Amino acid sequence: MELNGLTALVTGGAAGIGAGIAERLAAEGMHVITADLDERSGSIMAERIGGSFLRTDLANPADVRAAVDAAGPVAVLVNNAGGIEEPCFPAAQPAKWEQTLDLNLRAVMLATQQVLAPMRERGGGAIINIASTAGLGTAVHDSPEYAVAKAPGDRRTGVTAGRPRSRGRGRSTAPRRRAAR
């Protein structure tokens, strides 16, 4: 896939893994739009890579829709945004669990849903879901709601990319923490 001149939307692209992805896609010639809550870091990142920044609360479905609409024709979607805030289950109230599920599961599904039909009409594209090792296996996790939200990542990517007439590519990756040296 030739990336030069195409648009990428990177959620959670203001810092960390998302910023690294945004930098790499910009280096490939893409116009990169970062969607993130962190307005300061997002604006700095956008300026550094020659892209655009959209202040977006990815736990809010209306914000996800607005970001996809504002991005225009997205050739590459990187669902990177995610995370947790304490307190976690069982100390957290149900509204807190819902926020974690909205950010880590529903935002990914909604952004993917919003870009699929336009990608198909343009002949294809790529969707990359950044998963988490928290969602792999059956080990205990300090934030059960986060682990549960991340668990469908690999499965969701596989079934979406493999749908008939999807004309797209989907990948999921779960970054691992490096051991302290």
Single out the catalytic residue among 52, 92, 146, 157.
146
The rounded distance, in Å, linking the Cα atoms of 7 and 4 is 9
Please indicate whether residue 137 is annotated as part of the active site.
no
The rounded distance, in Å, linking the Cα atoms of 103 and 96 is 11
User: Could you give the residue numbers annotated as active site?
Assistant: 146
